[in-house]
Amino acid sequence: MAKKQKFEHSELAGEFTDDGITVLVDIFRTSGSNEDWTMEVVTQSEDLIRWDEPFATDREAFDEFLAVVARDGIRSFLDDDEPSVH
């Protein structure tokens, strides 16, 4: 039986609300490693948006999330018929 992989979650991860919409920003990497960080955004309707490219730091990942919200709005994570990858 394969051992379940454990993850370290960034202190920057958590709920983010803008324009009355809340999403969960999850920034994580394999626990105990120096690997790059992965970022996912989960909407209230449980849609998952995952960035293809990892980030060198958790701050870089969160700054990218904030840049998308500033540029495209938080609604850019909603109402997508296609699975979204950034």
Give the separation between CA 29 and CA 6, rounded to whole angstroms. 9
- pLDDT tens column, 19-59: 999 999 999 999 999 999 999 999 999 999 999 999 999 99
Of 30 and 3, the structure prediction assigns the larger pLDDT to 30
Asked whether residue 1 carries a pLDDT value surpassing 90, the answer given is no
Q: How many helices (H) and strands (E) does the chain have?
A: 1, 5
Give the separation between CA 11 and CA 47, rounded to whole angstroms. 22
- Residue 24 has which token pair? 């969960």
Asked whether residue 5 carries a pLDDT value surpassing 90, the answer given is no
SS3 70: helix
- pLDDT tens column, 71-84: 999 999 986 554 45
